């Protein structure tokens, strides 16, 4: 898995572009979110850099060394700082801190880690803090089979369902949770008709 992402991120071009994900940007702006933000599977840093430009203190992680290089390059270009870690989330110091918000934007993990990571991240968010999530739903699998350019994991067990999201973030008040069909246009690898799930939740306890 690491090798695949390192290869994808090793080129000059940014695989998913340098503009922030639209849903993430709108959520940050709408709820006037500030403080410390945790950004799992952050890749080349497009969303982390936007968060930093909005004044948030960004902690990001990924398994890709090449992704980190590109993210820091983009941060330098935009004159912001991000704290970016590479490795196993459960073994990092960042997994013991508390955050005001976590943003999982197409943060798809292996099936044996998916719910475990979600619940760990949920526990790291302070009461009253937010979770912002956008990812491919299980119903996206057929669309990806028909058009690989739409992107997303080839393993259906890495995809999300409304039920699994509710379970993993059960101690959050749901402000928005919806599955919908949309046309993605994010760099080279998110291009096509897609089925996605979007969540905004506010932690209760």
* Domain spans of the chain, in order of start: 2-203
pLDDT band at 95 (very low <50, low <70, confident <90, very high): confident
Predicted TM-score (pTM) of this structure: 0.96
pLDDT at 86: 97
- Could you read off the pLDDT of 111-161 as tens digits, one per residue? 999 999 999 999 999 999 999 999 999 999 999 999 999 999 999 999 999
CATH number, domain 2-203: 3.40.50.150
pLDDT at 1: 82
Q: Are 103 and 132 in contact (CB under 8 A)?
A: yes
Helix/strand number for the chain, H first, E second: 7, 7
| Residues forming beta bridges with residue 40, ordered by sequence position | none
Q: Give the torsion through C-alpha atoms of 25, 110, 143, 145, to 10 deg.
A: 140
């Amino acid at each position: 898995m690491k090798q695949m992402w390192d290869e994808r991120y090793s080129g000059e071009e940014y695989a998913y572009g340098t503009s922030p994900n639209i849903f993430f940007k709108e959520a940050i702006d709408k709820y006037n979110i500030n403080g410390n933000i945790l950004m799992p599977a952050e890749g080349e840093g497009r969303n982390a850099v936007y968060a930093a430009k909005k004044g948030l203190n960004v902690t990001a992680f990924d398994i890709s060394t090449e992704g980190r290089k590109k993210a820091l390059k983009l941060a330098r270009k935009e004159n912001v700082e991000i704290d970016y870690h590479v490795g196993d989330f459960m073994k990092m110091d960042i997994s013991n801190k508390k955050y005001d918000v976590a943003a999982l934007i197409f943060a798809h993990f292996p099936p044996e880690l998916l719910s475990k990571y979600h619940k760990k991240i949920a526990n790291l968010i302070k009461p009253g803090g937010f979770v912002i999530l956008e990812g491919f739903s299980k119903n996206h699998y057929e669309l990806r089979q028909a058009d690989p350019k739409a992107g997303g994991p080839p393993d259906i067990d890495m995809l999300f369902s409304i039920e699994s999201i509710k379970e993993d973030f059960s101690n959050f008040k749901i402000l928005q949770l919806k599955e919908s069909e949309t046309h993605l246009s994010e760099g080279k690898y998110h291009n096509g008709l897609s089925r996605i799930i979007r969540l905004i939740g506010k932690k209760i306890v």
